[in-house]
Amino acid sequence: MSPNKAEPRPTPQTQPFWDGCAQGELRLQYCPSCAAYYFPPRAMCPRCWSTEVEWRRVSGRGVLHTYLINHRPAPGFEEDAPYAIAVVQLEEGPRMMSNIVGIENTPENLVLDMPLEVTFEPRGSVMLPLFRPAKGARQ
Amino acid sequence: MSPTNGRAAVAIVGAAETTRLGVIPDVAEIELHADAVRNALSDCGLSVRDIDGIACTANPVALAHYLGITPTYLDGTSVGGCSFMLHVRHAAAALRSGLCQAVLVTHGQSGRSRVGVGGRGGDPSSLQGQFEAPYGPTGPPTLFPIGVLRYMKEFGLTHEQLASVAVVQRQWAARNPRAMMRDPITVDDVLSSRMIAYPIHLLECCLVTDGGGALVLTSAPRARDLPQPPVYILGTGESSETPMVSQMEDFTSSRAFRVSGAKAFAEAGITPADVDHLMIYDAFAHLPIYGLEDLGFVGRGEAGAFIEAGNTAPGGRLPLNTNGGGLSYTHTGMYGMFAIQESVRQLRGTAPAQVDGVEVSVAHGVGGMFAAAGTLVLSNREP
Ligand SMILES: [Zn+2]
């Protein structure tokens, strides 16, 4: 693992997300009154402003919503270039940025709406959620 | 709201501090803002849905997104500890003139515990630092166009149509002696230029230049006594969506564009059909495509074909980015000033690539990566 890649630094409001990652779980906040998940983390539901929200483990499944392929590598990414910077549509509703691993990052391989599943890799003091083609999915 | 020459009454109706004060090591700075806001709204009995203006010394885009607000008034004035007095003053003027209906002026600072202290790009505890930077972006070229493939899938936009944006703007630049890039280019030239961030090639990215601009505004009666033909402000709009491009509601459209544009057009009392000349901030080739649709000049999914067919080119029915734009004229980093300058030249009749009969010009700018937007409707006819 390159020591130079950018490392997230959790805050008290985001710590439960990173605690989940450390245990191999993707966790999102859920608002019972809206019956909806949201991301990124914050103390109140952005729809109804309820602070009665909870952290829940989610499936880790999603689809490739959109991406680009970066030909100008960031520090620590030199060996990976060109690499996709992607937005994953999670099964539970929210979207998050990520990288796609386990498949060469080419326009031919990366087809929008292809199924993905979360995986984690160490990055500094946290485990970073990444996505790979879902097992059993057509490639 | 009646025209009362700025005398309409404005009041502070809610006021509160954070729930706790002192040492608060378990709350990120942005959440201190949110806590104070919740308390102030509770104090006055208003809901966050009533709020359409936001002022703070931090990035008001980030705070509005965090709170779930779609603002039509943003004030990020940051001049030190007195900034909030200035925010109140600006807010009073904004409320009197109808830019918005209710403004939040907020403060939150983790000055002692330094938790989630943002403000500088790349802070690893900011939301961008935690949820975008770890995935390896290297500046706007590798983030801003992230929705283009989604747009292509939704609407069938082709790589050739995207490239035609750069080709058409070079046609305008060829008529402008001050443009940095003036040699004609073809779609093939664009598509064979270096790949920067697939599907964006070098010639679909803006220039990086040095330069500047300035504007002077005064009252309409006074303007009549001055030598230059006045350029009147018919309508203005502003809005924001999210400081994180990955959190756009729709990757094929900018909410900030839609809100800002609609506000400006409504204030001016015009529709896109009344516009003779248009400037849309083109940091990358997809910006004019999103702008044409989000401001209502064409229907959803139609902008690529519209540009490819020559409608925005010299001689076309909607002259767009007639200085050559950020792609071919200049781009210092904050190009919006240059878009306004070209609108003024076109309305004065002094542009190098002058369009005949321009009476209404629209200059539309983007802030960040679809984070914010501002729209001006300008005219050489006194309203
Ligand atoms: Zn809710």
Domains of chain A in sequence order = 15-133 (2.40.50.840)
What is the 3 state secondary structure string of B240-305?
ECCCCHHHCCCCCCCHHHHHHHHHHHHHHCCCHHHCCEEEECCCECHHHHHHHHHCCCCCCCCHHH
Average pLDDT over residues B50-70: 94
Cα A34 to ligand 1 centroid, rounded to whole Å = 4
Residue A39 is predicted with a pLDDT of: 98
Does the distance separating the beta carbons of A9 and B129 come in below 8 Å?
yes
Does the distance separating the beta carbons of B132 and A97 come in below 8 Å?
yes
Nearest CA in chain A to B37: A49
Average pLDDT over residues A30-51: 96
Residue B6 is predicted with a pLDDT of: 42
pLDDT in tens, A79-126: 999 999 999 999 999 999 999 999 999 999 999 999 999 999 999 999
Residue B3 is predicted with a pLDDT of: 40
Does the distance separating the beta carbons of B146 and A67 come in below 8 Å?
yes
Which of A4, A37, A87, A121 to substitute to test the interface with B, most B CBs within 10 Å?
Answer: A87
Cα A93 to ligand 1 centroid, rounded to whole Å = 14
CA distance A62 to chain B (A): 15
Q: Please provide the CATH number assigned to the domain covering B10-116+207-379.
A: 3.40.47.10
Tokens representing B330 are: 């200049």
Which residues of chain B does A85 touch, with a Cβ-Cβ cutoff of 8 Å?
135-137, 142-143, 146, 197
pLDDT band at A137 (very low <50, low <70, confident <90, very high): low
Cα B221 to ligand 1 centroid, rounded to whole Å = 51
- b vs e for A53-71, b when ≥16 Cβ sit within 10 Å of the residue's Cβ? beeeebebbbbbbbbbbbb
Residues with Cβ < 8 Å from A13, sequence gap 6 or more?
Answer: A41, A42, A43, B27, B28, B31, B116
For residues B51 and B104, what is the distance between their CA atoms, to the nearest angstrom? Answer: 7
Question: What is the value of ipTM here, to two decimals?
Answer: 0.94
Average model confidence (pLDDT) across chain B: 92
Number of H helices, E strands in chain B: 13, 9
For residues B91 and B103, what is the distance between their CA atoms, to the nearest angstrom? Answer: 7
Greater model confidence, B115 or B198:
B198
Cα A44 to ligand 1 centroid, rounded to whole Å = 8
Does the distance separating the beta carbons of B137 and A85 come in below 8 Å?
yes
Domain boundaries, chain B: 10-116+207-379
CA distance B101 to chain A (A): 20
Say which of A7, A80, A112 has its CB closest to residue B150: A112
Nearest CA in chain A to B194: A71
Does the distance separating the beta carbons of B131 and A96 come in below 8 Å?
yes
CA distance B2 to chain A (A): 33
Say which of A13, A74, A86 has its CB closest to residue B28: A13
Quick one: what percent of chain B has pLDDT higher than 70?
Answer: 97
pLDDT in tens, B269-316: 999 999 999 999 999 999 999 999 999 999 999 999 999 999 999 999
Does the distance separating the beta carbons of B66 and A42 come in below 8 Å?
yes
Which residues of chain A does B286 touch, with a Cβ-Cβ cutoff of 8 Å?
none
pLDDT in tens, B181-228: 999 999 999 999 999 999 999 999 999 999 888 888 888 888 888 899
Residue B8 is predicted with a pLDDT of: 66
